[in-house]
Structure 1
Amino acid sequence: MDTSHGGFPQPRRETTDRLVDAIANDQLDVEQRQALADLVNLLAAEMVSDSFARPGTLMDRTIEEAGAWGNLRSAWMRLHSQLYPRVVRS
């Protein structure tokens, strides 16, 4: 229950993404929790490395950022089938 609206519990609204609903409603199994943890860990590692000094030229920064997003995209594609609840999978 969300109490951000005047302190009274509000029912959790369903989203269009079933993964978000499963996370919010604590309905992930062990495999899904591990996949989500792996993805969050990779995202956190990329954000930490992003806070250090950046290469000087626009081209250098573009190449570096493309690599970071490529890593995240690759992880998402690899973990996607583990993340979504079994009932969602076709």
Structure 2
Amino acid sequence: MGLRIMNITTLLFWVAFVVNFFQPLIGDSSHWINWVGYGLLIAHGCECLMFRKELHRDYAGKLALGYITVLLLGLGRTSAWLNERKSTAV
């Protein structure tokens, strides 16, 4: 349930990020939405690099979909892969 809420919240933020380019959502103060969005893109891009093997394994034949999913959802998608890594490290 908590993961689903995090995914929905993240997707809603991306909608706000895109809309903010065309119509500032909160006037002159809306620049923070862009900066948070750029930060998330960088963070999720790093996740794509860190979980490259898992992406290729789980999204074989649909690799673009895998990268888009991680870029949009980030930790909401990669948390299962983090748990896999923890269980194999022990």
TM-score class normalised by the smaller sequence:
0.3 to 0.5
Tell me which structure has the larger Cα radius of gyration: 1
> Greater RCO between the two (CA within 8 Å, min separation 6)?
1
TM-score when scaled to structure 2? 0.35
TM-score normalised to the size of structure 1?
Answer: 0.35
Structure 1 or 2: larger helix share?
2
